[in-house]
Amino acid sequence: MNRRRFLKNAAAIPLLPIAVSQTLTTAAGRAATGIPVRRVRPGDPLWPSTASWSRLRREVEGRLIKVESPLIACQAEPNGTPCQEVLKQLKNPYYVGDQPGLTQTSGWADAWMSAPSVYAVAATKTEDVVAAVNFARDKNLRLVVKGGGHSYKGTSSSADSLLIWTRAMNSIVLHDAFVGQGCAGKQSSQPAVTVGAGAVWVQAYDAVTTKAGRYVQGGGCTTVGVAGLVQSGGFGSFSKNYGTAAAGLLEAEIVTADGAVRIANACQNSDLFWGIKGGGGSLGVVTKVTLRTRQLPEYFGGVLAKIKANGDAAFRKLIARTIAFYKEHLFNPHWGEQINFQSGNSVEISMVFQGLNRHQAEEVWKPFLDWLRDSPSDFSFEAPFAFLEIPARHFWDPEYILKHHGELMARDERPGAPERNLFWKGDGAQVGWFIHGYRSAWLPGSLLAPERQGVLADALFESTRHRNVGFHFNKGLAGASADDLAAAKDTAMNPAVLDAFALVIIAGGGPPAFPGLPGHKPDLQAARRASRDVNKAMDRLLELATNPGSYVSESDFFERSWQQSHWGSNYSRLAAAKRKYDPLGLFFVHHGVGSEEWSADGFTRLTGP
Ligand SMILES: Cc1cc2nc3c(=O)[nH]c(=O)nc-3n(C[C@H](O)[C@H](O)[C@H](O)COP(=O)(O)OP(=O)(O)OC[C@H]3O[C@@H](n4cnc5c(N)ncnc54)[C@H](O)[C@@H]3O)c2cc1C
């Protein structure tokens, strides 16, 4: 940071002539003077007047709201019914998503804590977004954008900011034969779906799969926001077969920092289009996306089990066998999701499959089960193998799932909540999560070569001495089809994703935490201990892979070389798009493209134009 220059310039501000100080009321004006831009906060002389806010409220037809955390109910009466009701709902992802003042992660130790914006534009249409973008830019405000609110890194939350809240922009339109605007004659038509930016994936799955019998690549977690996931890259349980969500993007409507509404696709604004696909979400406000839809297989299904090894030697054997088995039988587009290698010498399997039926899945796993059963003194089952088969069309169908597999999914229990408001119980633990430590890395497929499996197994065993280690096989594309690899290659994501057989995630966290809330204060000592263990566990695995890269939306808040880690060789191209469409950095997110020019809170420009 050029701190000396900043202080010197800041001290000179009162002496500036009026004409110059007037230019300072806009970010562009400040940048033109060479004086670092400092965004305004409530109480600053340049914070917009009540009359200005009223003008914005009129422009957005009343949809400007003052934001408060619902936890305010707990300040006055921590034991009162309103407070207790809010605390109970903090584990309901739909309730959290419906609050402009909350986020799905409550914070991250020593990194960020969820904080409500001052105002929000609860946008229902593109014009609302345009008005908010113009207002934030002209008034030099810190702007945040929130859809599903699932950012682990708090990128949709900032105190003293204006929020564009897209939650209500959730319309969904199916197309039999979509051609991008301006692409007639250049692109063949294909089935697609246009989804409002603020929709969550369960709404898209309901329309596309349950009602129309098609597949759209979205997130595994049903409550993640559509636009947030596409701009992350975006993996679902079946990404080894259908690729990333970003790779399925055909077109987006986006409001850029100049307030223009742009169509981005392969035929117009193609640099913006490419940057939206996995660029991390700071090129503008996406208002809707059109994604290709694909044929649904007959069945989706899952394999669940937990195997306990009797001692360290048996656990080493189990790790080695699991890796070899994965490589031989599961390293293909049929299989996704996770195997978790745990500190208690156990292996937890929560894998999903597509394009197989239950019988075929059982056949695939038979050699592994036989191997386990041959060594009863070494291995026991903490949870026996369970094979599930679900007609693909019913995978997200509330009626079917709750009737046949109520053990897998939970409902939004609020009175009057839509029936489709379902979430996987496995994701429930993360609702309101206070993160202690979180790191991830893409492990290259070369580690599965027979001659490398031994070193991988050794590192994995040693890593589990510190922390559980999760292999998310659907979040690395090695093993996917050539077409899906080519489509993913044409996105801003780090190309390392193409060669990775899995994203390994090592993390820890606790229940929802809010500073000052009795009984819910962050336990920083425990968090720092856990974070140290996460680091030790990941550092051991990283001895196997230099610069492996990691998934922008599921990675370390403290990553030092984040540009390389999240975008690799694509960073310079992404940075060029940022300079073109947002030269003054209106859209700031932690470790987003161009954020190196800003202070950590996104309020002070340190370098740049
Ligand atoms: C419990 C949980 C489960 C998850 N599961 C998966 C998973 O299965 N697969 C996967 O790939 N990822 C997963 N993630 C990561 C998730 O996909 C990303 O964090 C994603 O960015 C969240 O999008 P959102 O809209 O829900 O969140 P938000 O916090 O609202 O937004 C995330 C980021 O995108 C920006 N953004 C949101 N909407 C817009 C918009 N319209 N225009 C411009 N910028 C926008 C925000 O400003 C913010 O920086 C998970 C995260 C959590 C917390």
DSSP structure string for 233-271: ----TTHHHH--TGGGEEEEEEE-TTS-EEEEESSSSHH
Q: Is 151 in the pocket of ligand 1 (CB under 6 A)?
A: yes
- Which of 174, 113, 118, 136 lies closest to 285, judged by CA? 136
Residue percentage of the chain with pLDDT more than 70: 94
- Atom 3 in ligand 1: which residue has the minimum CA distance? 221
* Confidence class for position 514, pLDDT limits 50, 70, 90: very high
Q: What is the pLDDT, as a whole number, of residue 103?
A: 98
Condensed to tens digits (0 to 9), the pLDDT of residues 61-111 reads 999 999 999 999 998 888 999 999 999 999 999 999 999 999 999 999 999
Q: What is the pLDDT, as a whole number, of residue 16?
A: 32
Nearest ligand 1 atom to alpha carbon 153: 19
Alpha-carbon dihedral sign for residues 545, 546, 551, 556: positive
C-alpha 229 to ligand 1 mean position (Å): 5
* Confidence class for position 324, pLDDT limits 50, 70, 90: very high
Q: Using alpha carbons only, what angle is made at residue 36 by residues 32 and 41, rounded to the nearest 5 degrees?
A: 115
Structure tokens at 444: 């290259």
Structure tokens at 526: 């425990």
Mean pLDDT of 216-238: 98
* Confidence class for position 609, pLDDT limits 50, 70, 90: low
Q: What is the pLDDT, as a whole number, of residue 27?
A: 52
CB 104 within 8 Å of CB 149: yes
C-alpha 51 to ligand 1 mean position (Å): 34
- Which of 584, 546, 582 lies closest to 565, judged by CA? 546
The β-bridge relationship of strands 335-342 and 346-354 is antiparallel
* Confidence class for position 10, pLDDT limits 50, 70, 90: very low
Q: Is 554 in the pocket of ligand 1 (CB under 6 A)?
A: yes
Q: What is the pLDDT, as a whole number, of residue 137?
A: 97
Lowest mean pLDDT among 33-47, 283-297, 405-419, 561-575: 33-47
Phi-psi region of 182 (alpha: psi -120 to 50; beta: other; left: phi over 0): left
Mean pLDDT of 368-393: 98
Q: Is 476 in the pocket of ligand 1 (CB under 6 A)?
A: no
> What per-residue string of b and e applies to 333-367 under the rule 16 or more CB within 10 Å gives b?
bbbbbbbbbbeebbbbbbbbbbbbebeebbebbee
> Which residue has better confidence, 592 or 4?
592
C-alpha 148 to ligand 1 mean position (Å): 6
The β-bridge relationship of strands 172-178 and 107-108 is unpaired
Decide if pLDDT at 450 tops 50.
yes
Q: Is 427 in the pocket of ligand 1 (CB under 6 A)?
A: yes
Dist. CA 142–CA 162, nearest whole Å: 6
- Atom 29 in ligand 1: which residue has the minimum CA distance? 149
Q: Is 221 in the pocket of ligand 1 (CB under 6 A)?
A: yes
Decide if pLDDT at 187 tops 50.
yes
CB 41 within 8 Å of CB 47: yes
DSSP structure string for 128-194: HHHHHHHHHHHTTBEEEEESS---TT-TT--TTEEEEE-TT---EEEEEEE--TT-TTTS--EEEEE
Q: Is 280 in the pocket of ligand 1 (CB under 6 A)?
A: no
Decide if pLDDT at 19 tops 50.
no
- Atom 53 in ligand 1: which residue has the minimum CA distance? 150
Mean pLDDT of 547-562: 97
- Tokens 């799932």, residue? 401
Q: What is the pLDDT, as a whole number, of residue 180?
A: 98
Mean pLDDT of 404-431: 94
C-alpha 54 to ligand 1 mean position (Å): 31
Probe residue for ligand 1, chosen from 90, 231, 423, 425 as the CB with the greatest number of ligand atoms within 8 Å: 231
Mean pLDDT of 7-18: 33
Decide if pLDDT at 594 tops 80.
yes
Mean pLDDT of 42-58: 98
- Atom 37 in ligand 1: which residue has the minimum CA distance? 228
Q: Is 286 in the pocket of ligand 1 (CB under 6 A)?
A: yes
Q: Report the Cα 505 to chain-centroid distance in Å.
A: 14
Decide if pLDDT at 117 tops 50.
yes
Partners of 434 in the β-ladder: 107, 510
Q: Is 234 in the pocket of ligand 1 (CB under 6 A)?
A: yes
Say how many C-beta atoms besides its own lie within 10 A of residue 406's C-beta.
11
* Confidence class for position 31, pLDDT limits 50, 70, 90: low
C-alpha 149 to ligand 1 mean position (Å): 6
* Confidence class for position 604, pLDDT limits 50, 70, 90: very high
CB 309 within 8 Å of CB 377: no
* Confidence class for position 29, pLDDT limits 50, 70, 90: low
Which value, in Å, is the radius of gyration of the alpha carbons in the chain?
Answer: 24
Nearest ligand 1 atom to alpha carbon 244: 11
- Atom 47 in ligand 1: which residue has the minimum CA distance? 145
Lowest mean pLDDT among 300-314, 418-432, 525-539: 418-432
DSSP structure string for 336-388: EEEEEEETTTEEEEEEEEES--HHHHHHHHHHHHHHHHT-TTTEEEEEEEEEE
* Confidence class for position 7, pLDDT limits 50, 70, 90: very low
Decide if pLDDT at 6 tops 80.
no
CB 219 within 8 Å of CB 235: yes
CB 162 within 8 Å of CB 142: yes
Q: What is the pLDDT, as a whole number, of residue 12?
A: 33
* Predicted TM-score of the model (pTM): 0.94
Decide if pLDDT at 570 tops 70.
yes
Average pLDDT, the chain: 94
CB 111 within 8 Å of CB 509: no
- Which of 425, 402, 347 lies closest to 380, judged by CA? 347
Mean pLDDT of 386-395: 97
Condensed to tens digits (0 to 9), the pLDDT of residues 244-292 reads 999 999 999 999 999 999 999 999 999 999 999 999 999 999 999 999 9
Q: Using alpha carbons only, what angle is made at residue 124 by residues 118 and 128, rounded to the nearest 5 degrees?
A: 65
